[in-house]
């Protein structure tokens, strides 16, 4: 098989990139390790910045998102028995975020991609291996139904997440990896119960962090910080509900509607960046190149700027014969990546319990008290939460 852009991974990054390219007449082949149903069922992101929502619209898949997504103007922080709202829209000149689950977004993307004549998707592609990208002859080797296959292409986009094959195929001496693993994880629970509040609540508590999020007016997503030794089986629904209520101010906990879980899982927290994000004719996009702890809701939103920059650069290459944007991809993408890595790390560090030392909690409370007393303090949270802009010179 021959194509213009060979894409490894049919998650949100690979699918949205393929659509953006297709609308400019560029063909691609997506190799996805799993079946469609598996990819669509993964419960992950819930919050889209305006940049990601705009990209979905640009990719021609924004209609259901605009109909069913919930626009939020603010978030609530609770700490020390206090409840403080950050009016993000007022502090950022009207910017909002959209509540729309990654499961729904992925369904919308697959509906469009599978009808798109410029895009071929191979599901259950095994042993995917990118080769020849440093030598100017990029190819994707893989196994399908027991048969060895090859896709020859002009470029490879590695959109295959943290555990993917693209980054793994780069010799260790050609990249640098920066990593921090946090000493806790998030236990998440999804339930068909109305959210406890109309906006998200991020709670700092001496028992540990908690987050009240949602997918719709009737479906809630809650998280609590748990130790790395914890197992999902140790957490009955009842134990989860008891624990999250203890971490919230009483008047909020008292309103919480509980019910059976639809899904429960534990995610570890990690900050991770690969430099560079280009290796000859192969480009890394999204989680394949970087991971942030979910506290700032930034993971998918960072993939969005990568997709935007890479699609813009590839379109300039095919339409105008330009190489300059491809040459600037890695540096430009990484600048926004590091900004989000910094915010996610910082927001994680002021909201979570890191150890039993009481001075740590007191210092967090002093920092939160200061931030809430200062317009500059609230604005720094608001600006980062709604998302830093894409580089306007990248065109």
Written as six digits, the tokens of 67 are 């109909």
Partner touching 39 among ligand PHB, ligand RFL, none, CB below 5 to 8 Å by kind = ligand RFL
Give how far Cα 105 sits from Cα of 10, 160, 205, 273, 274, Å. 12, 17, 32, 25, 26
The string of DSSP codes covering 137-175 is --EEEEEETTEEEEEE-SEEEE---TT-STGGGS-GGG-
CA distance linking residue 132 with residue 159, whole number of Å: 17
Least distance from ligand PHB to the Cβ atom of residue 366, Å: 23
Residue 211 CB, nearest approach to ligand RFL (Å) = 9
Which parts of 316-335 interact with ligand RFL (CB under 6 A)? none
Piece of the chain touching ligand RFL by CB under 6 A; list 74-82, 295-303, 344-352, 362-370 = 295-303
- Distance in angstroms (rounded) separating the CA atoms of residues 103 and 125: 21
**Could you tell me how far CA 51 lies from the centroid of its own chain?**
13
* Sites for ligand RFL among residues 184-213 (CB under 6 A): 186, 188
Contacts of 57 (CB under 8 A, 6+ apart): 65, 66
**Which one of 114-122, 137-145, 274-282, 289-297 is the stretch in contact with ligand PHB (CB under 6 A)?**
289-297
**Please, what is the minimum distance in Å from the beta carbon of residue 79 to ligand PHB?**
16
| Shortest distance in whole angstroms from residue 45 CB to ligand RFL | 3
Candidates 55-63, 89-97, 291-299, 386-394; binding stretch for ligand PHB (CB under 6 A): 291-299
Partner from ligand PHB, ligand RFL, none contacting 295, C-beta within 5 to 8 A by type? ligand PHB
**Cα–Cα distance measured from residue 235 to residue 265, given in angstroms and rounded to the nearest whole number:** 10
Q: Under the criterion CB under 6 A, does residue 72 sit at the interface with ligand PHB?
A: no
Got the DSSP string for 224-262?
EEEETT--GGG--HHHHHHHHHHTS-HHHHTT-----EE
- Confirm whether 72 is a catalytic residue: yes
The single residue among 7, 20, 30, 47 that binds ligand PHB, judged by CB under 6 A, is: 47
Q: Where along the sequence are the contacts to ligand PHB (CB under 6 A)?
A: 46-47, 200, 211, 213, 221, 294-295, 297
């Amino acid at each position: 098989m021959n194509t213009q852009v060979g894409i490894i991974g049919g998650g949100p990054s690979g699918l949205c990139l393929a659509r953006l390219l297709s609308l400019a007449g560029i063909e691609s082949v997506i190799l996805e390790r799993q079946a469609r149903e598996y990819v669509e069922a993964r419960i992950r992101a819930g919050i889209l910045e305006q940049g990601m929502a705009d990209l979905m619209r640009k990719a021609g898949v924004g209609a259901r998102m605009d109909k069913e997504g919930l626009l939020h103007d603010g978030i609530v922080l609770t700490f020390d028995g206090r409840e403080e709202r950050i009016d993000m829209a007022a502090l950022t000149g009207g910017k909002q975020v959209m509540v729309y689950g990654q499961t729904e977004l992925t369904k919308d993307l697959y509906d469009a991609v599978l009808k798109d004549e410029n895009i071929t998707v191979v599901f259950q592609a095994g042993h995917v291996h990118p080769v020849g990208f440093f030598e100017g002859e990029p190819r994707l080797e893989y196994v399908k139904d027991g048969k060895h296959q090859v896709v020859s292409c002009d470029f490879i986009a590695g959109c295959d997440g943290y555990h993917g094959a693209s980054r793994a195929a780069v010799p260790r001496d050609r990249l640098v990896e920066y990593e921090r693993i946090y000493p806790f994880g998030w236990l998440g629970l999804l339930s068909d119960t109305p959210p406890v509040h109309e906006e998200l609540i991020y709670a700092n508590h001496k028992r540990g962090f908690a987050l009240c999020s949602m997918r719709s007016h009737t479906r809630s997503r809650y998280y609590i910080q748990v130790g790395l030794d914890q197992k999902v089986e140790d957490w009955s629904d009842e134990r989860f509900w008891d624990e999250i209520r203890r971490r919230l101010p009483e008047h909020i906990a008292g309103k919480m509607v509980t019910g059976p879980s639809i899904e429960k899982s534990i995610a570890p927290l990690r900050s991770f960046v690969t430099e560079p994000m280009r290796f000859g004719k192969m480009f890394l996009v999204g989680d394949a190149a970087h991971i942030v702890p979910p506290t700032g809701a930034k993971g998918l939103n960072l993939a969005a700027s990568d997709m935007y920059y890479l699609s813009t650069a590839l379109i300039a290459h095919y339409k105008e014969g330009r190489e300059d944007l491809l040459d600037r991809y890695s540096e430009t993408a990484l600048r926004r990546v590091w900004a989000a890595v910094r915010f996610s790390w910082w927001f994680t560090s002021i909201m979570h319990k890191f150890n039993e030392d009481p001075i740590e909690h007191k210092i967090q409370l002093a920092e939160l008290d200061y931030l809430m007393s200062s317009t500059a303090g609230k604005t720094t949270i608001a600006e980062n939460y709604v998302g830093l802009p894409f580089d306007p010179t990248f065109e």
